[in-house]
């Protein structure tokens, strides 16, 4: 059954007038006239009484119209929703992000995004980096926020923030912060590092390796907040992202222990599937991420 015929039927029924319908359809009257005739033939059923003032639905036409009318309003709302999606008036974004980045980077940003686009629903899930990659590839999230570098053929990456790792400590080892220390000195103190499954830990391990030191941390913790807490309570020297502890350093609650061998800076990035187009909402959020300033503790 040709759906185009129903378009003629719909407008003709709506206006009770084939000529009016043809105007709204931007085609000529005979075209509509014939479409209706064709529909009537295919349904084997007259749908309109023809009069000299227009047309009137037959009882059968009336019945059909009830359904066709509904059908068309569904199509129309469907199209409206799609246009809303494009205009960020409707939609949802699913984000995968680690605990730390969620707290220190994403949350403040989400707050802004939400005030700009209140109709967009946002889901956040906080697994490890490999978990994020899996969720991405199985289509469960739109994009992930991870620590770079990361290599994957199927993924796009975009740096959204440059971060600098650093060593921090509490009162007990404050003296070390007076001047830069050789890495070999630093590692003689108790060390607080992230757990082995994190990308950040891989990065810092690489740094130790590059500088030919072998490290066995005294504590391996799940996120930066815990590292900071342990450092404050003088359990040792923690390796954390400096950008996220600036306030603690300024207010003298933590002290930076600078190694002579500089830790290279690295990047936080957003990543998404190459072969899958992003939704307009996700695109919008990603494009905003890079311009956004992180906040402190």
What does the alpha-carbon distance between residue 226 and residue 251 come to, in Å, rounded to a whole number?
19
Does 156 engage in binding with DNA (CB under 7 A)?
A: no
Of 27, 68, 125, 215, the one binding DNA by CB under 7 A:
27
Q: Please choose, out of 12-20, 68-76, 122-130, 159-167, the segment that lies near DNA by the rule CB under 7 A.
A: 12-20
Binding to DNA, residues 259-278 (CB under 7 A) = 275
Does 30 engage in binding with DNA (CB under 7 A)?
A: yes
CA 287 from centroid of its chain's CA atoms: 10
CA 56 from centroid of its chain's CA atoms: 52
Closest CA relative to residue 194, chosen from 159, 160, 231, 161: 231
Our CB check for a copy of itself shows the closer of 73 and 210 to be 73
Does 4 engage in binding with DNA (CB under 7 A)?
A: yes
Strand partners, 93: 122
- Quick one: what does residue 49 bind among a copy of itself, DNA, none, with the CB cut-off 5 to 8 Å set by partner type? a copy of itself
What does the alpha-carbon distance between residue 205 and residue 193 come to, in Å, rounded to a whole number?
10
Does 119 engage in binding with DNA (CB under 7 A)?
A: no
- Quick one: what does residue 34 bind among DNA, a copy of itself, none, with the CB cut-off 5 to 8 Å set by partner type? DNA
Positive/negative CA dihedral, 101, 102, 104, 108 = positive
The 43-72 site mask, x for binding a copy of itself (CB under 8 A), equals: xxxx--x------x-xxx--xx-xxx-xxx
Does 31 engage in binding with a copy of itself (CB under 8 A)?
A: no
Our CB check for a copy of itself shows the closer of 35 and 147 to be 35
Binding to DNA, residues 54-113 (CB under 7 A) = 54-55
DSSP summary character for residue 272: E
CA 256 from centroid of its chain's CA atoms: 34
Least distance to a copy of itself from the beta carbon of 282, Å?
9
Residue 190: is it exposed, middle or buried by C-beta count within 10 angstroms (0-12/13-18/19+)?
Answer: middle
Least distance to a copy of itself from the beta carbon of 146, Å?
22
Closest CA relative to residue 252, chosen from 176, 169, 184: 169
What does the alpha-carbon distance between residue 11 and residue 7 come to, in Å, rounded to a whole number?
6
Structure tokens at 193: 């590092």
Closest CA relative to residue 106, chosen from 291, 289, 297: 289
Which residue has tokens 């992180």?
294
Our CB check for a copy of itself shows the closer of 52 and 212 to be 52
Binding to a copy of itself, residues 219-278 (CB under 8 A) = 275-277
Least distance to DNA from the beta carbon of 95, Å?
24
Residue 120: is it exposed, middle or buried by C-beta count within 10 angstroms (0-12/13-18/19+)?
Answer: buried
Return residues touching DNA (CB under 7 A): 2, 4, 12, 17-20, 26-31, 33-38, 50-55, 275
Return residues touching a copy of itself (CB under 8 A): 1-4, 6-7, 43-46, 49, 56, 58-60, 63-64, 66-68, 70-72, 74-75, 77-79, 81-83, 85-86, 90-92, 139, 275-277, 279-280
């Amino acid at each position: 059954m040709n759906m185009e015929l129903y378009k003629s039927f719909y407008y003709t029924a709506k206006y009770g007038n084939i000529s009016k319908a043809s105007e709204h359809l931007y085609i000529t009257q005979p075209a509509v006239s014939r479409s209706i005739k064709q529909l009537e033939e295919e349904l084997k059923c007259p749908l309109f009484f023809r009069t000299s003032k227009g047309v009137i639905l037959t009882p059968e036409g009336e019945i059909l119209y009830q359904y066709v009318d509904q059908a068309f309003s569904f199509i129309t709302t469907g199209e409206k929703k799609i246009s809303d999606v494009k205009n960020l008036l409707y939609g949802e974004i699913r984000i995968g992000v680690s605990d730390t980045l969620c707290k220190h980077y994403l949350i403040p940003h989400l707050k802004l995004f939400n005030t700009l686009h209140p109709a967009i629903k946002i889901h956040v899930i906080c697994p490890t980096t490999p978990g994020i990659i899996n969720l991405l590839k199985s289509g469960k999230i739109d994009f992930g926020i991870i620590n770079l570098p990361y290599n994957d053929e199927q993924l796009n990456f975009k740096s959204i923030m440059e971060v600098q790792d650093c060593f921090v400590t509490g009162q007990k080892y404050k003296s070390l912060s007076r001047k830069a220390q050789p890495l070999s000195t630093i590692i003689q103190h108790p060390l607080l590092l992230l757990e082995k499954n994190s990308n950040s830990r891989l990065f810092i391990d690489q740094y130790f390796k590059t500088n030919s030191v072998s490290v066995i941390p005294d504590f391996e913790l799940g996120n930066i907040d815990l590292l900071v807490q342990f450092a404050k309570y003088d359990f040792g020297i923690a390796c954390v992202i400096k950008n996220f502890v600036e306030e603690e350093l300024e207010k003298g609650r933590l002290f930076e222990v600078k190694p002579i061998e500089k830790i290279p800076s690295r990047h936080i990035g957003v990543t998404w599937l190459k072969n899958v187009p992003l939704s307009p909402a996700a695109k919008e959020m990603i494009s905003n991420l890079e311009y956004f300033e992180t906040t402190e503790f």
